[in-house]
Amino acid sequence: MPRIFLSLAAADLILLCGAGVLALSESAPTPDRHILLAVLSLLLSCLIQVLAFTYLTVTGKMIAQAVHLARLDDEVLTRCKRWKSMLTVNLAVAFASIVPVVATGAISWRNGTPTWTHRAAAVFTVAVHLLVWRGEHRVLVENARALDHTLRAYTAWKTHAPAVSA
């Protein structure tokens, strides 16, 4: 998942920057093209956040079940909860950074003239996303390592556990 996350984040960054370049280029055929690209990139950003949260939720359940069945050290569960909490904060920050750029963009579109506040909000959104993605990637890498370690320990326990008859 960390590699998939990085690929999606890179694609979203390219889309966000592409929307900015389209907005700044005077040769753009219509001003609405940058809006469409920006909306697409912001939707992709939301999708990335939801995928990362879902991944942590599902892997957390897998780790919890393996820890419970094999009676493994439950300290990993505490770390999983902390990672999910960190990701939730990052998710909220990423979503919150989208609001100012959308609001100022709507005002600029309605007035028919670009504003410096919209440009500043766009740069702010890209910067926030870069910071959020960096933190989320670290969380996803740590979670993937914990999942791998836990499932290896569970597999080792399962191969040495006595067979249970039905």
Considering the domain boundaries, does residue 144 fall inside one? yes
119 contacts 63 by C-beta, under 8 angstroms: no
Considering the domain boundaries, does residue 47 fall inside one? yes
- Host domain of residue 13: 2-159
Tokens of 17: 């920057």
Q: What pLDDT was estimated at residue 166?
A: 46
pLDDT digits (tens, 9 = 90+) for 93-138: 999 998 999 899 888 888 877 788 988 999 999 999 999 999 999 9
pLDDT digits (tens, 9 = 90+) for 53-94: 999 999 999 999 999 999 988 899 999 999 999 999 999 999
Q: What is the amino acid identity at position 32?
A: D
- Domain count of the fold of the chain: 1
Tokens of 12: 């979203």
Considering the domain boundaries, does residue 57 fall inside one? yes
Considering the domain boundaries, does residue 10 fall inside one? yes
